[in-house]
Each structure stands twice: as structure tokens, then as C-alpha cells.
Amino acid sequence: MRIHRGWALAFVLLIAAPFAIPAAAQQPAEPAATPPAAAPAKPKPAPKPAANPAAAAVPAKPATPAAAAAGGPQPKLLGQYGEWGAYTATAAGKKICFAIAKPTSSQTIPPNRPRNPTYMFISTRPADKVSNEVSIIVGYPFKPSSEASATVGSTSFALYTQQDGAWVKNAAEEAQMVDAMRAGDTAVVKGVSAKGTQSTDSYTLKGVSQALDRTARECR
């Protein structure tokens, strides 16, 4: 049974920071959403989400990836499987494991819009009884109150968005999506930025099953 439905956005950004630093230095980026000062649980999807006081409490200046990485958990590579890496880290005394991949192709409309690095995570937190939770850092602030989508094979999954993070909207579909990813070839994530840019990111699924098996052994 889940204690929380998803990662706090700030914590996902913290984990992503060590991966993002090299890529961020290579390209100009559309300003990322300011992460919350505290780490609230993933908001529950609703037609009109209520304001989250914790999420609203933002620092005066946006945290940079370098600043986040400096004091954040340093992930340890467990193994690389195709495009998917299996990692473990400890944060706030809690062990976490996750599989992570970057898109193999990305497109925007209008074309060539700058973005921060983009990643898909599949995370496990034994202390919170959370297993194989899908989250995505899209590299730009989503259009407020918009939904994104992830399509695996012929099945599309609605994603709830907040700032530059996205999660499976219907928690009951999360296991279905992970199973589809294990059996599929490609996952395609689509969203719209706060500036109206439409993005399409394609992730190869080669190696995702092995990466998930490795994180499952590490975070039993």
C-alpha cells in the first residue's frame, strides 16, 4: 500500500542533478520551474488541484543543478543495461533505487526550442513501500493545469504535471505501464510547455527490464 503516490518534485530534481550538469552546460535552456523549498508528496490528480502550501513555498532564487548536486545524494551505478542505468542512493536516511534513461530522440514544435536535460525515472523506495514509480523530468515548465501523455505500444497513459515533472495520473495504471514498458520497444512522452512549445520525446525500452530487475534486487 502506498504512503505517497509519487516523488516530491524537488527530490526528483535533486536525484537528477548529477546527471544534468554535463548536458546543461552544453545548451541554452528554457528556464526551469523553481523547485519547492520543501519536499511535498506528489499531488493527487484532480480536475482542479488544490494549492499545496508546501509546494508554494519556493526559495528566493531557483536552485541550479550544481547547487542541488553539491549537497544532495550521490547516486551509485549498479549497472548499465542498454540505454537504462540502474542506480541506488540514500537521502534523508532512506535507501532508494531507480532506473533512469534519457530520450533517444526529441522534437519540439516550433522546432529547436532549447530545453534542460530530460529523463525518465522508474523508482523504488522501500521505506515508503513504493515500488516502480514512473516519473519524468521534461526539461521545461509544463503549461499550468495541463496533462501530458506517455504511449507504450498502442496504449496511452495520462500524466499529471507539476512544474517540470510528470507522473502517471491514475496510480492504478502505473503497474500496467511498467509491464508494457518491459514488453515494449519505445515509450513516447508528449507535453506542452508554459510557453506553448509542444514536445515529443522517444525513449528506447531496450534494457529497461534488466535495469528494473537490478533495482528490485538492491531495494527489496
What is the domain partition of the chain in residue ranges? Answer: 9-44+58-218
Which grid coordinates are listed for 160? 499529471
pTM value is: 0.73
Q: pLDDT at position 14, please?
A: 56
Q: Which residues contact 56 (CB under 8 A, 6 or more apart)?
A: 36
Residue 198 has a pLDDT of 97
Say which CATH class 9-44+58-218 falls into: mainly beta
Cβ neighbours of residue 220 under 8 Å, at least 6 residues apart?
126
**Angle made by CA atoms 122, 69, 169, in degrees to the nearest 5:** 30
Confidence band, pLDDT 50/70/90 cuts, at residue 166: very high
- Give the Cα separation of 177 and 155 in Å (integer): 8
Q: Of 200, 201, 218, whose CA–CA distance to 103 is shortest?
A: 201
Task: Look at residue 152 and give its three-state secondary structure.
Answer: strand
Residue 43: band (very low, low, confident or very high) from pLDDT cuts 50, 70, 90: low
Q: Which of 8-17, 46-55, 76-85, 117-126 has the lowest mean pLDDT?
A: 46-55
